[in-house]
Chains A and B, each alone.
Chain A
Amino acid sequence: MLSPDRPFPLFLQKIESLGRISTKWVNSLGFGTSLLYQSVFWICWGSRRKQQVRLEAIVSQMMEVGILALPIVSLVSITIGLMLAIQGIDALKDFGAEHQVTYGVALSVVREFAPLITGILIAGRSGSAFAARLSTMMINNEIDALRVMGINPVRFLVVPSLVAMMIMVPLLTLWADIVALLGAGLYITTALGISMGTYIGQTIAYLGTADALHGLGKSFVFGILITLVGVINGSSVTGGAEGVGHVTTRAVVHSILALILADLLIVFLLTR
């Protein structure tokens, strides 16, 4: 018999805990969907409500998300390209098929590595910054201040970041494609004794439009996910500076998890 004086049995506590976590995830999913809907609403109908999304805010976010991330994306991409080339040649050498490395590297970079690595970098760099910014604003009553000024926080804060992510993550992925393939080319041309022109020609011949679209389409989805996960975590802040640190870390972990799961789902649906 259960009474307030007696604690729940352990298995009931576990079930309760599972229920709480599930409810929290379903809540977050609902909030994310609502945010996406509201964002689309403000993009499409903001000007009709005389609350258009400011172009300068989008450009500023594009600068922050995209242009300032170019050095780190370039560095990581060229390293990934080089590693894939080294590993690929080494693995294919056993079968005497090292000349096929260009094909393997091209496909794996464009369809998988460039979008995923770029997404993870942007989640760590911009997703965390967005969650930190939003949570700090929550704590300082800045979101309340926006509301009572008649400024919708989703339109003012979320939409510029979302649009910037939707544009810049695919563009950064395209850049990562080029840099990683050139990085791989540096090693492949040396190791296989072919010219850079031959390597580039082979790469272009192997890659189809569908491959490029597959990678860029995924990165577009990743951009949306990074923003939404940042907002959901940032707006759930409690406490002071410690809370900001907590939601920022959680935003990065959740973003990376969301990217990998979304990647798996997209690959499962489109590749088999």
Chain B
Amino acid sequence: MPLSELEPIIEVIDLTTHYGSRKILNGISLTVHKGEVMVIMGGSGSGKSTLLRHLIGLEHPSSGNIKLLGQDIRNMTEHDMTQLYRKVGVAFQSGALFSSMTVGENIMLPLREHTKLDQKTMEIMARLKLEVVNLAGFEDLMPSELSGGMLKRAAFARAVIMDPVLLFCDEPSAGLDPVVSSSLDELILRLKDALDMTIVVVTHELESAFRIADRITVLDKGDILTIGTVDDVRASDNRRIQDLLNRHFEEEILDPDAYLARLTGESEALFSQV
């Protein structure tokens, strides 16, 4: 089905924002359609995290409009935002689990606050979501007892506990090893298929972006360089995009054996001087 026929879930129109006199986002416009995985990609300081904070209503733009699920969030009351947030899930980069609660209590929190379900039902729902993220049996642990990857999985479980229509993920692969990072990508794809979600992922990891994206928005210094499919981005002749892609590939061709040999050689040389 052509994109234009799909229901728009997020509409950003001419979004501009400043921190003091510094312009962070410069007239951003984009649309995310129902059921797609949109990756917002860019280097450090490109404005991707700021854009995400605006999309989830944590910051207000200097000008422009943001529509989530058809509602203009700039003109919404706190009460209306609360209603809207029940249909939206956010998995933060750090996990943002509450350290004073167990993993299970963290995941049940939205249910406890927004529904009148009894404890048993909430526990069953939390366990089901933990199974989806491969963390079944971890509900009684404290967040401090989980590894970085597990924290992010638990954050995903909490983000989807209310079966949201729209899921935002902030740097899901950041700081994780490639295996864990890859498993989180698979989790995002599984959530999209199993729960029929629209997912917006902010990342600077190219591998991850190419693996999960239906479309990619490339940001640079507060401007959108391109919005397109993975093939569109790869084929782009925009110099800034090519710079972004090539930087990554240069890192990829690093030979681990040569690196190890160099390290060993350097340490041997160091010891021979002693």
Contact = CB atoms under 8 A, between A and B. Distances in A.
Nearest to B56: A148
A140 B94 contact: yes
A144 interface: yes
A149 B92 contact: no
Given A148-B56, A149-B110, A142 B81 contact: no
Nearest to A150: B85
Contacts of A142: 96-99
B140 interface: no
A151 B96 contact: no
Given A141-B92, A148-B88, A148-B90, A49 B58 contact: no
A136 B97 CA distance: 12
A140 B96 contact: yes
A136 B85 contact: no
Interface string A103-142: 0000000000000000000000000000001001100111
B57 A148 contact: yes
Contacts of A147: 57-58, 85
How many chain A residues sit at the interface, stated as a range, is 10 to 19
B78 A148 contact: no
Interface residues of B, number: 25
B96 A145 contact: yes
A152 B78 contact: yes
Given A51-B82, A152-B78, A136 B94 contact: no
Contacts of B79: 49
Nearest to A60: B100
Contacts of A148: 56-58, 85, 88, 90
Contact of B85 (A133, A141, A149, A156): A149
Interface in B107-156: 109-110, 113-114
Contact of A144 (B92, B97, B99, B113): B92
B56 to A, nearest CB: 5
B92 A145 contact: yes
Nearest to A133: B100
B83 interface: yes
Interface string B52-90: 000011100000000000000000001101111110101
A150 B82 CA distance: 4
A230 B94 CA distance: 25
A141 B114 contact: no
A4 to B, nearest CB: 15
A148 B57 CA distance: 8
Nearest to A151: B113
Interface in A140-164: 140-142, 144-145, 147-152, 156
Contact of A145 (B57, B78, B90, B114): B90
Nearest to B113: A151
A145 B98 CA distance: 9
B113 A51 contact: yes
A242 B12 CA distance: 37
Given A149-B109, A151-B113, A144 B82 contact: no
Nearest to A136: B99
B161 to A, nearest CB: 9
A153 to B, nearest CB: 11
A149 B92 CA distance: 12
A144 B55 CA distance: 13
A141, A145, A147 interface centre (most CB from chain B within 10 Å):
A145
A74 B84 CA distance: 49
A148 B56 CA distance: 7
Contacts of B58: 144, 147-148
B90 A150 contact: no
A51 B98 CA distance: 19
A141 B109 contact: no
A147 B85 CA distance: 8
Nearest to B114: A150
Nearest to A142: B96
Nearest to B116: A50
A151 B83 CA distance: 10
Interface in A40-72: 49, 51
Nearest to B90: A148
Contacts of A51: 82, 113
A148 B82 CA distance: 8
6 contacts: A144-B96, A147-B58, A147-B85, A149-B110, A150-B82, A151-B109
Interface of B: 56-58, 78-79, 81-86, 88, 90, 92-94, 96-100, 109-110, 113-114
By Cβ-Cβ distance, the 10 closest A-B pairs, closest first, are A150-B85, A145-B96, A150-B82, A141-B96, A148-B90, A141-B92, A149-B110, A142-B96, A151-B113, A148-B56
